[in-house]
Chains A and B, each alone.
Chain A
Amino acid sequence: MASRGSAVVMTLYLLFLLVPIYWLVNMSLKTNAEITGTFSLYPLNPTLNNYRVILTDSSWYMGYVNSLIYVVMNTALSLAVALPAAYAFSRYRFLGDKHLFFWLLTNRMAPPAVFALPFFQLYSAVGLFDTHIAVALAHCLFNVPLAVWILEGFMSGVPREIDETAYIDGYSFPRFFVRIFMPLIASGIGVAAFFCFMFSWVELLLSRTLTSVNAKPIAATMTRTVSASGLDWGVLAAAGVLTILPGALVIWFVRNYIAKGFALGRV
Chain B
Amino acid sequence: MTLELRGVSKEVAGQIWLHPTDLALAAGSMNVLLGPTSSGKTTLMRLMAGLDQPGTGRILWQGQDVTGRRVQDRRVAMVYQQFINYPSMTVYDNIASPLRLQRIARAEIDSRVRRTAEMMRLTPLLHRRPLELSGGQQQRTALARALVKGAGLVLLDEPLANLDYKLREELRAEIPRIFEASGAIFVYATTEPEEALLLGGHVATLWEGRVTQFGPTPQVYRAPCDAVTARVFSDPPMNFKAIRVTGGEAELDGARWSVDVGDGRYTAGFRAPHLTLEQGRRALPLKARLDATEITGAETYLHLLHGQDRWVGLVPGVRKLPAGAPLTVWLDSAHVYLFDEAGRLARPAPSSRAA
A residues lining the B interface (CB < 8 Å): 159, 161-162, 164-172, 175, 180, 183-184
Residues in chain B near residue A184, CB distance under 8 A: 87-88
Given contacts A168-B72, A170-B98, A171-B97, 15 further A-B contacts (CB under 8 A): A159-B84, A161-B82, A164-B78, A165-B145, A166-B86, A167-B70, A167-B72, A168-B49, A168-B74, A168-B76, A169-B98, A169-B101, A169-B149, A180-B88, A184-B88
Choice from A165, A168, A170, A183 contacting B88 with Cβ under 8 Å: A183
- Cross-chain contact B80 with A168 (CB below 8 angstroms): no
Distance in Å: Cβ of A258 to nearest Cβ of chain B:
22
Given contacts A168-B49, A169-B97, whether A180 and B86 have CB atoms under 8 Å apart is yes
- Cross-chain contact A164 with B51 (CB below 8 angstroms): yes
Closest A-chain residue to B74, C-beta based? A168
- Cross-chain contact B102 with A168 (CB below 8 angstroms): no
Distance in Å: Cβ of B1 to nearest Cβ of chain A:
17
- Cross-chain contact B77 with A168 (CB below 8 angstroms): yes
Closest A-chain residue to B80, C-beta based? A161
Task: Decide if B161 is an interface residue (CB 8 Å cutoff).
Answer: no
Distance in Å: Cβ of A154 to nearest Cβ of chain B:
14
Distance in Å: Cβ of B60 to nearest Cβ of chain A:
19
Choice from A159, A161, A162, A170 contacting B72 with Cβ under 8 Å: A170
Distance in Å: Cβ of B2 to nearest Cβ of chain A:
20
Which 5 pairs across A and B sit closest by C-beta, in order of nearness? Answer: A183-B88, A170-B101, A169-B98, A167-B71, A161-B84
Report how far A208 CA is from B84 CA in the complex, Å: 50
Distance in Å: Cβ of B19 to nearest Cβ of chain A:
24
Residues in chain A near residue B80, CB distance under 8 A: 161, 165
Considering the complex, which residues of chain B in the window 67-101 have a beta carbon less than 8 Å from any beta carbon of chain A? 70-72, 74, 76-78, 80, 82, 84, 86-88, 97-98, 101
Given contacts A159-B82, A161-B84, A162-B84, whether A171 and B77 have CB atoms under 8 Å apart is no
- Cross-chain contact B101 with A171 (CB below 8 angstroms): yes
- Cross-chain contact B102 with A170 (CB below 8 angstroms): yes
A-B contact list, 25 entries, CB within 8 Å: A159-B82, A161-B84, A162-B86, A166-B86, A167-B51, A167-B70, A167-B72, A168-B49, A168-B71, A168-B72, A168-B76, A168-B78, A169-B98, A169-B145, A169-B149, A170-B72, A170-B98, A171-B72, A171-B97, A171-B101, A172-B72, A180-B86, A180-B88, A184-B87, A184-B88
- Among A165, A171, A183, chain B packs the most CB atoms within 10 A around the CB of A165
Residues in chain A near residue B76, CB distance under 8 A: 168
B residues lining the A interface (CB < 8 Å): 49, 51, 70-72, 74, 76-78, 80, 82, 84, 86-88, 97-98, 101-102, 142, 145, 149
Residues in chain B near residue A172, CB distance under 8 A: 72
Closest B-chain residue to A182, C-beta based? B88
Distance in Å: Cβ of B312 to nearest Cβ of chain A:
35
Report how far A60 CA is from B204 CA in the complex, Å: 77
Distance in Å: Cβ of A178 to nearest Cβ of chain B:
12
Residues in chain A near residue B77, CB distance under 8 A: 168
Distance in Å: Cβ of A115 to nearest Cβ of chain B:
39
Closest A-chain residue to B142, C-beta based? A165
Distance in Å: Cβ of A91 to nearest Cβ of chain B:
13
Residues in chain B near residue A168, CB distance under 8 A: 49, 51, 71-72, 74, 76-78
Report how far A171 CA is from B71 CA in the complex, Å: 10
Given contacts A170-B101, A170-B102, A171-B72, whether A165 and B84 have CB atoms under 8 Å apart is yes
Residues in chain B near residue A180, CB distance under 8 A: 86, 88
Given contacts A170-B102, A184-B88, whether A165 and B72 have CB atoms under 8 Å apart is no
Distance in Å: Cβ of B77 to nearest Cβ of chain A:
6
Report how far A180 CA is from B97 CA in the complex, Å: 10
Residues in chain B near residue A161, CB distance under 8 A: 80, 82, 84
Closest B-chain residue to A159, C-beta based? B82
Report how far A184 CA is from B78 CA in the complex, Å: 21
Report how far A161 CA is from B102 CA in the complex, Å: 21
Report how far A248 CA is from B55 CA in the complex, Å: 55
Residues in chain A near residue B102, CB distance under 8 A: 170
Residues in chain B near residue A159, CB distance under 8 A: 82, 84
Residues in chain B near residue A175, CB distance under 8 A: 101
Distance in Å: Cβ of A186 to nearest Cβ of chain B:
8
Closest A-chain residue to B101, C-beta based? A170
Report how far A135 CA is from B70 CA in the complex, Å: 42
Residues in chain A near residue B145, CB distance under 8 A: 165, 169
Residues in chain B near residue A171, CB distance under 8 A: 72, 97, 101
Report how far A164 CA is from B86 CA in the complex, Å: 12
Closest B-chain residue to A180, C-beta based? B86
